[in-house]
Structure 1
Amino acid sequence: MSVTTTTHLNFRGEARQALEFYQSVFGGRLTLVTYGDFGMPKELPDAGKVVFGQLTADNGFGIMAYDAPSQSPAAAAPAATTREHGMTLTGERFFVSVRGDDAEEVGALWEKLAAGATLIEKYGPSQWAPGFGMLTDQFGVTWILDVAVAYDAG
């Protein structure tokens, strides 16, 4: 048996724009299906919103997203994520982590993802990796980008 996990992001009407932006960063194939595509009458407010969205890239990157129906309860706004004294302080329940094995390639992804973002920790060498950075993108999603390091298990 093989098991994989894919981050699934929940938006309030921004899923299409977010997935298109992530496609511009990571490349890949984008699938978007609206509530209207599934039969919701086009005159209803949510008909044009994304009920199923998925981005899959050849390099292994994958993410899913949808727009929560307008009658869904509002999510409590988490406290902003910050880095202080080498610690990450946050009220968020999750981050999206992207890890690669080449500092320049991960850095190039960082540069694209950083457009319109709030930088938490600028991308660069860290104590534990040749490249690490943290930001909250223009859609409110917090991302960690880093470079994998081979650890000696002995």
Structure 2
Amino acid sequence: MSIKSVAHINLRGTARQALNFYHAVFGGRVTLATHGQAGMTDDPAAADLIIWGQVVADNGFCVMAFDVPAAMPWDQGQNAYYVSVRGDSAEEIAGYWAGLAEGATVIAPLAASSWSPLYGMLKDQFGVVWVLDVANQG
């Protein structure tokens, strides 16, 4: 038996844009289901919001996202979570960094660190904090 842990990001009205952006960065397949398709709303303004969405790539990357409806409380918080992407190749991580950096705020520039050959942290245009690094082979 095995399990897989996947980051599930809760957003307010930007899940579709975020998942399409992550798909552009990481590739793979994007799947989207709306509140309306699931019959989970009578509010026409909420019908196109994402009730469940994900990006799954062949390299193992997976992230899920959800639009929290206006009727539900939501607070993004400060440092509530990070999404971590760790790879074996500096070139691969640098490529993901370049994609995620579009419209982002860099928290820690992508560079060598004492614990990783390459490490960086940024807050993307959707307010999600990403930690990218290369696995230490030592």
Contact 2:15 2:50 in 1 (8 A): yes
Runs (4 or more) in structure 1 with deviation over 3 Å come to 40-43
AA partner of residue 74 (structure 1) = W
- What count of residue pairs does the alignment treat as equivalent? 138
Q: Secondary structure at the match of 1:108?
A: helix
User: Which residue is equivalent to 1:7?
Assistant: 7
Structure 2 runs not aligned, ≥5 long: none
C-alpha RMSD over aligned residues: 1.4
TM-score, normalised relative to structure 1: 0.85
User: Which residue is equivalent to 1:16?
Assistant: 16
TM-score, normalised relative to structure 2: 0.94
Q: Identity over the aligned pairs, expressed in percent? A: 50
AA partner of residue 116 (structure 2) = A
User: Which residue is equivalent to 1:65?
Assistant: 65
Please list the CA deviations of residues 59-117 of structure 1 after superposition, one character each: whole Å capped at 9, or x if unmatched: 00000001011111131642xxxxxxxxxxxxx12100000001111111101110000
User: Max radius of gyration: which structure?
Assistant: 1
The alignment status of 1:96 with 2:83, answered yes or no, reads yes
User: Which residue is equivalent to 2:111?
Assistant: 124
Supply the distance in 2 between the matched residues of 1:149 and 1:116 (Cα, whole angstroms).
29
The alignment status of 1:30 with 2:30, answered yes or no, reads yes
